[in-house]
Amino acid sequence: MQPNSLLDALLDEAGISHAGLAAHVNMAGRSRGLALRYEHTAVARWLKGQRPRGKVPDLICEVLSARLQRPVTLDDIGLGIPGSPASTVGLPLAGFVERATALWRSDEQQRPHVLGAPAVTGTPAVMPVWEWENPPEDTDVSRDGQTRVGESDIAMLRAARAHYELMYRKAGGIATRARIVGFLNSETAPLLRGSYSDSTGRLLHRATGALVAVAGICAYDSNAQGLAQRYFHQALRLAKASGDRGLGAYVIALLVNQSLYLREYRQAVAFAEAALRAAGSDITPALASDLHAMQAKAYAHLGDAHNALSCITSAEAAADRIRPGQEPDETGYVQPGLVNVQVAEALLGLGDLTGAREQAALAARAPAHDRGRVHRLAMLAQIELRQGEADRAVATAVEMAERARGMESQRLRDRLRTVREHLLDSGCSSAEEAAELIDGALRVPL
């Protein structure tokens, strides 16, 4: 069950409160001989994704049509497909745009039912990937609207993606998300609803997809997993509309990473395989190396050493083919050392402490942005503790805490807390000092 952002957006546009909608629906029902007694709590459940019973969806349309003075359909309020009001699978592109922009609006307004929604599993999680991989393709993405979209608009979206990605790396997803969501609402949504040819539309959908993916990364980093997943699914649909298979494979890599975090290891393997298979020659060495490395981590968690080691070999071979300047902007996160830290985690899962330590040390020595370095140092400190080298782990943790100071990231906070707990359990005399530094980094308000 996913939040119904379309209904939420229309209520906001109509200026109707939850209690107000319930009262109007009750009144409309009475005119048809129905004894309805809905309250604001029922509307809150509808916004969380519950489908109203009987004729109530039609009554909601009637109420909103009268208030907005235009026809409002079941599809408009997200209730056209029984059981999946927020789904975008199988929708025409124009309908998808309306659902996507409704989510951006609800996110910017910090609607609790959107921010707190859990990630979906099973078929609802798999279908967007299946839809991306399989026909039909979008034969024409042109649109007639009021705003004429040109090259300068697309350049603005690309620049915004680079800007917010850099902000995320320096300040974390919590600080960045509100800004990028505000940009999606104020600048991007009007362009998607604008006027453009098929060729311009494909560039527009690609630029928007890359930007939405960063919004998803920020939501993931804020631990809003359901919201992050919906952004990733949106980015995947936009990638399909753009016709860029490489962009779609990049978005799936984000879904693989989230699947690992959610401990959906078989799903992570399957998603990575889909990206590698469907993107084919459009996949770049950097992205291939990351996908193989994440597959190795998933197989390690599943206890499959053979496939884990095979994926490590593939990841290292792909990493050797990476050439600076020949990768798209989106795969810039695959910096030197990233595959090493991924491989270190896989080897750690397989019980190979020596190999994991070697890979983690290589990762820590490689150049990286601030956020990436914190993660690498956290991994190295944990391995050093596992090897009984508490003094080395303390020194690594001190550097980690100093670099993490000022970052607003729930994922980094989780890593720091884990290292802190393990340090204090080690019994090392200098662990208290390192723990205090970590506490200082954790005091950044979220």
% of the chain beyond a pLDDT of 70: 97
User: Domain tally for the chain?
Assistant: 2
Last residue of a domain, one of 315, 334, 358: 358
Instruction: Please give the average per-residue pLDDT across 175-202, as a whole number.
Output: 97
Q: Is residue 248 included in any domain, yes or no?
A: no
Instruction: Please give the average per-residue pLDDT across 395-413, as a whole number.
Output: 90
% of the chain beyond a pLDDT of 90: 72
Q: Is residue 168 included in any domain, yes or no?
A: no
Q: Which residues contact 315 (CB under 8 A, 6 or more apart)?
A: 288, 289, 290, 292, 293, 296, 339, 342, 343
- Is the pLDDT at 433 greater than 70, yes or no? yes
- What predicted TM-score, i.e. pTM, was given to this entire model? 0.85
Q: Which of the four pLDDT bands, split at 50, 70 and 90, describes residue 1?
A: low
Measured between alpha carbons, how far is 285 from 291 in angstroms, rounded to an integer? 10
Q: Is residue 212 included in any domain, yes or no?
A: no
Last residue of a domain, one of 337, 358, 379: 358
Q: Are 418 and 382 in contact (CB under 8 A)?
A: yes
Residue 419: predicted pLDDT: 93
**375-399: pLDDT as tens digits:** 999 999 999 999 999 999 999 999 9
- Give the range of the structural domain holding residue 34, as residue numbers without chain letter: 5-85
Q: Is residue 295 included in any domain, yes or no?
A: yes
Last residue of a domain, one of 358, 382, 405: 358
Mean pLDDT of the chain: 92
| 331: DSSP letter | G
Q: Which residues contact 418 (CB under 8 A, 6 or more apart)?
A: 378, 382
Q: Is residue 45 included in any domain, yes or no?
A: yes
Question: For 23-32, 72-81, 149-158, 253-262, which range has the lowest pLDDT when averaged over its residues?
Answer: 72-81
Residue 95: predicted pLDDT: 85
Q: Is residue 73 included in any domain, yes or no?
A: yes
Q: Are 279 and 288 in contact (CB under 8 A)?
A: no
> Is the backbone of residue 440 left (phi > 0), alpha (psi -120 to 50) or beta?
alpha
